[in-house]
Amino acid sequence: MAEIPCIDDLTLSGIALFLDVDGTLLEIAARPQAVSVPDDLRERLRALFLASGGAVALVSGRAITSLDALFAPLALPSAGLHGFEHRGASGAYRTRQPPSGAALQAARAAMLHFALPHAGLMVEDKQFALALHYRGAPQLEESVVTAMRRIAADVRDELELQRGKMVVELRPAGATKAEAVAAFLEEAPFAGRLPIFIGDDFTDEPAFELVNRLAGLSVVVSAARPSAARARLTDVAAVRGWLGGLQADPGAALRALSAAQAGASGCDDASPAAPPARHVRSRA
């Protein structure tokens, strides 16, 4: 494991904060449309965005249009559909090469054909990605995964299988949350800062691995599940509490995560804080 740098001297101006949404900032609901953002969370994110100079981004499996609708009127820098689409701090929007309409249409038809006879299954159309949710029928997990693997094999050049909590997705090939975080770290105001990524799902693991390589802070939202993340917050309430601490006392909040990553030994004078730029230059 790479040595975890001490971050005693870091403030909000020295970090780049990346946040998953469902299961991290918001409790997961039976239907994606059923969630809502509390006013105090929206205001806290806005305050952190301003205090950090704009280096707070959402990195989600949702489309950016869905994120904007949820957090309105707040519109943060965002990566949607697991990194397929990107909107930086400047507001510039771009996407990767989209899958063809034919591939999406074929996958959508196959997913609907499978889901319609089964109560509790829901196909979510994200325009450039498709998701089959089985939270309403968890007993069908094995059948859902088998069916989605078969569908994915027919469109594998353009769409990739992605498992999550009670959902199996077909996302644009090559799009990952690691790629999304790396793209943000190439641009202002994120470049040259210590990256912090907080997420709960298997889709967040590539981003954890990237942040670990950059000697940043990786945080899984789970009481116990195995993860590449090196620190842990137990649930959504703990994430919101930590964000409140970050707003009130950034140094204490950052030291708490750093100590969790480093273990009981924590930081000492033998491992001083590295310059933030080091975390970006170390990516090769």
Which CATH number does the domain housing residue 250 bear? 3.40.50.1000
* Residues sharing a CB contact under 8 Å with residue 273, sequence separation 6 or more, in sequence order: 5, 6, 7, 8, 9, 10
What range does the domain containing 107 cover? Answer: 101-172
| Cβ-contact 221, 200 below 8 angstroms | yes
Q: What is the pLDDT of residues 166-207, one digit of tens each?
A: 899 999 988 899 999 999 999 999 999 999 999 998 889 999
Please return the burial class of 269, using the count of CB atoms within 10 Å of its CB with bins 0-12, 13-18 and 19+. Answer: exposed
Query: Residue 85 corresponds to which amino acid?
Result: E
Q: What is the pLDDT of residues 83-129, one digit of tens each?
A: 999 999 999 999 998 999 999 999 999 999 999 999 999 999 998 99
Question: Where residue 267 falls among pLDDT bands split at 50, 70, 90?
Answer: very low
Q: What is the pLDDT of residues 145-176, one digit of tens each?
A: 999 999 999 998 899 998 988 899 999 988 89
The residue from 136, 157, 172 where one domain ends is 172
Q: pLDDT value at position 11?
A: 87
Which residue in 20, 22, 200, 204 is the catalytic one? 20
Please indicate, yes or no, whether residues 153 and 185 belong to a single structural domain of this protein: no
More confident residue, 172 or 34: 172
Q: pTM for the complete prediction?
A: 0.84
Q: pLDDT value at position 271?
A: 33
Q: What is the pLDDT of residues 42-67, one digit of tens each?
A: 999 999 999 999 999 999 999 999 99
Catalytic residue check, 268 = no
Rg value, the chain, Cα: 19
The token duo for 187 is: 């641009």
User: Is the pLDDT score of 274 beyond 70?
Assistant: no
The residue from 141, 172, 203 where one domain ends is 172
The domain total for the chain is 2
Q: What is the pLDDT of residues 12-31, one digit of tens each?
A: 999 999 999 999 999 988 78
Q: pLDDT value at position 262?
A: 58
Please indicate, yes or no, whether residues 198 and 82 belong to a single structural domain of this protein: yes
Please indicate, yes or no, whether residues 68 and 106 belong to a single structural domain of this protein: no
Q: pLDDT value at position 268?
A: 42
Please indicate, yes or no, whether residues 185 and 81 belong to a single structural domain of this protein: yes
Place of tokens 């999550």: 164
Please indicate, yes or no, whether residues 217 and 149 belong to a single structural domain of this protein: no
From first CA to last CA, the distance across the chain in angstroms is 18
CATH number of the domain enclosing 122: 3.30.70.1020
Kindly report the average pLDDT of the chain as a whole number: 87
Let me know if residue 2 belongs to a domain. no
Please indicate, yes or no, whether residues 149 and 249 belong to a single structural domain of this protein: no
Q: pLDDT value at position 1?
A: 32
- Gap between the Cα atoms of 160 and 81, Å rounded: 12
Question: Where residue 9 falls among pLDDT bands split at 50, 70, 90?
Answer: low
- Gap between the Cα atoms of 87 and 67, Å rounded: 11
Please indicate, yes or no, whether residues 183 and 223 belong to a single structural domain of this protein: yes
Please indicate, yes or no, whether residues 41 and 66 belong to a single structural domain of this protein: yes
Q: What is the pLDDT of residues 205-229, one digit of tens each?
A: 999 999 999 999 999 999 888 999 9
Other beta carbons within 10 Å of 9: 10
Please indicate, yes or no, whether residues 55 and 90 belong to a single structural domain of this protein: yes
| Cβ-contact 231, 261 below 8 angstroms | yes
